[in-house]
Amino acid sequence: MEAVLSRHFADPDPADLQVYRQAGGYAGLARAIEMDPADIIAEVEKSGLRGCGGAGFPTGLKWRLRGADAPQPRYLVCNLDETEPGSIKDRALLFGAPHHIIEGMLIAAHALGVSYAVIFVRGEYAAGARVLEKALHQARAAGLLRLPDGDLRLDIHISLGRYICGEDSAILNAIEGKRANPRKKPPHISQQGLWQQPTTVNNAESIAHLPGILAHGADWFRSLGVNGGVGSKLYSVCGPAQRPGVFELPMGTTAREILFEHAGGMQEGRNLRAVLPGGSSTPFLMPEHFDTPMHFDAVAKVGSRLGTGGFILLDDQQCPVDFLVATTRFFARESCGFCTPCREGLPYLRWLLERIEAGEGSTEDIDTLHHLGGQIAPNSFCALAPGALMPVLSGLHAFADDFQAHVRLGHCPYRESQS
């Protein structure tokens, strides 16, 4: 497949507007400006583009459900607060395809009747934000921010940090200078979002796909996918692979091809035992699932989630209990503290896992982990705690023998074998 999003990743200066335009950049915007906004939304809906930040909700449908008669002013936010462990695709876009993001924001702004838009960038990506700022300056100087309804004000907002800022309503509180807690829904942010006005939030990868869809058409985009997927996808691989990194491939490429062809398989002496396929808030895929096409519907059918498409590898040299201690520590620390199940439940979950991994746990502790999993998720205010539980609950099932071995032996068997 010809590179779409990644075609400028290796350029000496991906922010160079002239190079981007010579390769066909801003052709999608030129076509969009000549179209009625309703027709742009219909084209995006026909393309099958879905949210690439984790949920996979159809982008065109999200835009249409906001309603053409939404009151003004309306706002648009690009979510580039990529804090999900194991996910690095948006970082690659930020450093390697800044004009894709800017052009996509201009297309979306015209389609949605927006006059003010924000690109919200993770605080640790400040160097990438400077690349984006350079590209934005060039686009503004070239007059590209002049849309049919007037100039678009497009700002870059660098986050102060915290995983919860990536939640679609918490990101709005952060922009407003408030504590980044998720908001109660309803009302949904499409009706009352940024400064209580209609707001659309889309992931950076979803936004970056818009120029290609508008330049070449919905049918072209759909044709890029394989095995029931549509479009291209940035998959990332983290862990003990030969070639970890970011790979643009047809949506629907199997996990086996991604891991063993493009990422080169495992490092010498290591065997792949399982993967989290969509960042650290997704259930494990086991080897019997590696021939599954990596698109939203196929991954859901085997009991996991595509999420961000960020693979985290678990090999036979690493203790799965210790692996889950690491993911749970992260989520326990990153809870906004707003609701009791998340604020109190995740630290308790972490403590139980640490206790078992240290060889001090009991079978009752394992039973408690199962019980907590059934109590925390349905009673939490937002998706942080349910996401944190996904690898734990699937790991309790997939690695039940390892959990029991820690209890039976009174220590971690992996530490013994490594020593």
| Euclidean distance between CA atoms 112 and 201, whole angstroms | 12
Structure tokens at 11: 């350029």
- List, as one string, the DSSP characters of 218-286: HHHHHHT--TT--SEEEEEEESSBSS-EEEEEETT-BHHHIIIIIS-SBPTT--EEEEEBTBTTSPPBP
Quick check: 100 and 93 in contact, CB under 8 A? yes
What integer pLDDT is reported at residue 416 of this predicted model?
Answer: 67
Query: Residue 223 CB: number of other CB atoms within 10 A?
Result: 14
Q: Are strands 146-147 and 150-151 parallel, antiparallel or unpaired?
A: antiparallel
Q: What is the mean pLDDT of residues 344-359?
A: 97
Burial class of 168 by CB neighbour count within 10 A (0 to 12, 13 to 18, 19+): buried
| Euclidean distance between CA atoms 146 and 107, whole angstroms | 11
**Residue 38 reports pLDDT greater than 80:** yes
Quick check: 93 and 206 in contact, CB under 8 A? no
Q: Is the dihedral of CA 79, 327, 395, 347 positive or negative?
A: negative
- List, as one string, the DSSP characters of 182-207: PPPSSSPTTTS-GGGS-EEEEEHHHH
Could you read off the pLDDT of 55-71 as tens digits, one per residue?
899 999 999 988 888 99
Question: pLDDT exceeding 90 applies to what percent of the chain?
Answer: 94
Structure tokens at 116: 């003010």
Could you read off the pLDDT of 102-147 as tens digits, one per residue?
999 999 999 999 999 999 999 999 999 999 999 999 999 999 999 9
**Residue 157 reports pLDDT greater than 60:** yes
Could you read off the pLDDT of 73-114 as tens digits, one per residue?
999 999 999 999 999 999 999 999 999 999 999 999 999 999
Total residues found in the chain within this entry: 419
How far from 115 is each of 70, 72, 98, 151, 376, CA to CA, in Å? 13, 9, 20, 7, 40
Average pLDDT of the chain to the nearest whole number:
96
Query: Nearest Cα to 44, choosing from 195, 207, 210, 160?
Result: 210
Helix (H) or strand (E) holding 65: helix 59-66
